[in-house]
Amino acid sequence: MNVRECIVSAPGKAILHGEHAVVHGKVALAVSLNLRTYLWLKASAPGKVCINLPNIATFMSWELSDLKLLAPESCGKRDESKLLDAELVRRLREFIGVTNGNLDTHSMATLAFLYIYLSLFGSGDLPSLTVTVWSELPTGAGLGSSAAFSVCLAAGLLSASGAISTPLRDFDNTARWCQEDMELINSWAFQGEKIIHGNPSGVDNAVGTWGGILRFLSGKIIPLSRVPLLRILLTNTKVPRSTKVLVARVKDKINKFPSIMTPVLDSVDAISCTCERILAEMTSQPITGEHYNALEELIDINQHHLNVMGVGHPTLDTLCRVTQARGLHSKLTGAGGGGCGITLLRPETDSSIVQSTIQDLKDCGFDCWETSIGGPGVQQHSPASVKGEILEIFSQY
Ligand SMILES: Nc1ncnc2c1ncn2[C@@H]1O[C@H](COP(=O)(O)OP(=O)(O)O)[C@@H](O)[C@H]1O
Ligand SMILES: C[C@@](O)(CCOP(=O)(O)O)CC(=O)O
Ligand SMILES: [Mg+2]
């Protein structure tokens, strides 16, 4: 079977409010970032499937004849079932030698790839292909690298299978899919997230697919059209953590202390809804200091709640303290336990304050940069529209 070569990309995300609570049916507000993951899919030597994941030093190659033995009996390109095929996951875990509880980066990424590949192609001829992924996002830092990876896998493999169109026309630089195709990409990306996370809410893959600023509640995605331009500082504490472990930790706490944790989750829900209302107000009325005071207070309250849930970290406390000393407010973003935090900047925050804060945070050993938000969701690219440095990485494989 011949595959169609393609390059696709998907953005990372920052959660403004609602991480963890969103897994338990509460509202989250999330925004796409200008950092993206790129996937290049091309035909490979006959009889072989290869993945090159240089961000995580993973390079694998399999014989089609071995993969064919693992393929599920039925597969469905249009099957949007929310349940993972547990039997296929079991066979794949055994095939790549993952023992129970093994959560390493390499195994999760390989499992997610093989699961989507075999689910989409398993019942027919398996195509010989090579997939190379390169990301501008830090891996495992709370910026949705797993979701951007899963969205790219879903978009690339669905396109190669012909289950969705190839939107890029001659002379286009980038192109996006129709709503129906994006829903299919999102649903397969969600399967990838399930393999990597265990119990994802789906907010990260939704932002990776649609981009922009979204309100997410129990799988329902509402793009926010009325949002002021927000200035955000991103800080990576560089403390590694696993979303899967942190999501499980919060669940244990809820099971242990339901009457204590349920009001915390309800409060986070109210924070997300209040934030959404304030953001809408800021587009319909003149923006005042009161709006920013309220947004800052919501950030502080939510950060305390996240500490109560057990997903804080001393480095995140340092981030909050260092930025507070400059009059700025921060919270963790994503799963916490290290990883990244966001700091809200006011429109009038002087660039000298921003630069001094960045320097203070760098002095703590963190990476820190001002980011732009709301970038496009999943896209197909012509090679000419991909940055030279990424093409150069791709050209090595
Ligand atoms: N560029 C990449 N290449 C390969 N695998 C990736 C890449 N980015 C993310 N992943 C997968 O996602 C996992 C990290 O997911 P997760 O713990 O949810 O953190 P994040 O906050 O970055 O989403 C990694 O262990 C790896 O399996
Ligand atoms: C903690 C959570 O709300 C977000 C996790 O984001 P990340 O994998 O840390 O980027 C989990 C989820 O929504 O699936
Ligand atoms: Mg993730």
280-313: per-residue pLDDT in tens?
A: 999 999 999 999 999 999 999 999 999 999 999 9
- 207 has a pLDDT exceeding 90: yes
138 in contact with ligand 2, CB cutoff 6 A = no
Ligand nearest the Cα of residue 148 is: 1
Confidence grade of residue 100 (pLDDT, cut at 50, 70, 90): low
Ligand 1 atom closest to the CA of 139, numbered from 1: 22
Ion ligand 3: residues, Cβ under 5 Å: 146, 243
pLDDT confidence of residue 187? 96
Per the CB < 8 A criterion, the answer to whether 244 and 197 are in contact is yes
> From the CA of 105, how far away is ligand 1's center (Å)?
7
- Provide the token pair at 180: 């129906």
> From the CA of 109, how far away is ligand 1's center (Å)?
7
pLDDT confidence of residue 75? 58
How would you classify residue 366: left for phi > 0, otherwise alpha for psi between -120 and 50, otherwise beta?
beta
Residue whose Cα lies nearest atom 3 of ligand 1: it is 53
Name the catalytic one among 181, 204, 269, 330: 204
- 78 has a pLDDT exceeding 60: no
Give tens-digit pLDDT for 44-67: 999 999 999 999 999 999 999 999
Q: In CATH, which superfamily holds the domain spanning 226-371?
A: GHMP kinase, C-terminal domain (3.30.70.890)
User: How many angstroms separate the CA atoms of 163 and 80, rounded?
Assistant: 12
136 in contact with ligand 2, CB cutoff 6 A = no
User: How many angstroms separate the CA atoms of 340 and 380, rounded?
Assistant: 28
Confidence grade of residue 337 (pLDDT, cut at 50, 70, 90): very high
Confidence grade of residue 372 (pLDDT, cut at 50, 70, 90): confident
Is 350 tagged catalytic? no
- Provide the token pair at 65: 């004849």
Give tens-digit pLDDT for 249-264: 999 999 999 999 999 9
146 in contact with ligand 2, CB cutoff 6 A = yes
Q: Where in the chain is the domain with CATH 3.30.230.10?
A: 6-222+375-395
Ligand 2 atom closest to the CA of 339, numbered from 1: 9
Fold that domain 6-222+375-395 belongs to in CATH: Ribosomal Protein S5; domain 2 (3.30.230)
- 340 has a pLDDT exceeding 90: yes
Interface predicted TM-score of the whole assembly (ipTM), two decimals: 0.99
- Which residue type does 191 have? Q
Is 356 tagged catalytic? no
Q: Where in the chain is the domain with CATH 3.30.70.890?
A: 226-371
User: How many angstroms separate the CA atoms of 306 and 303, rounded?
Assistant: 5
- 76 has a pLDDT exceeding 60: no
Q: If you average pLDDT over every residue of the chain, what do you get?
A: 94
Ligand 1 atom closest to the CA of 244, numbered from 1: 17
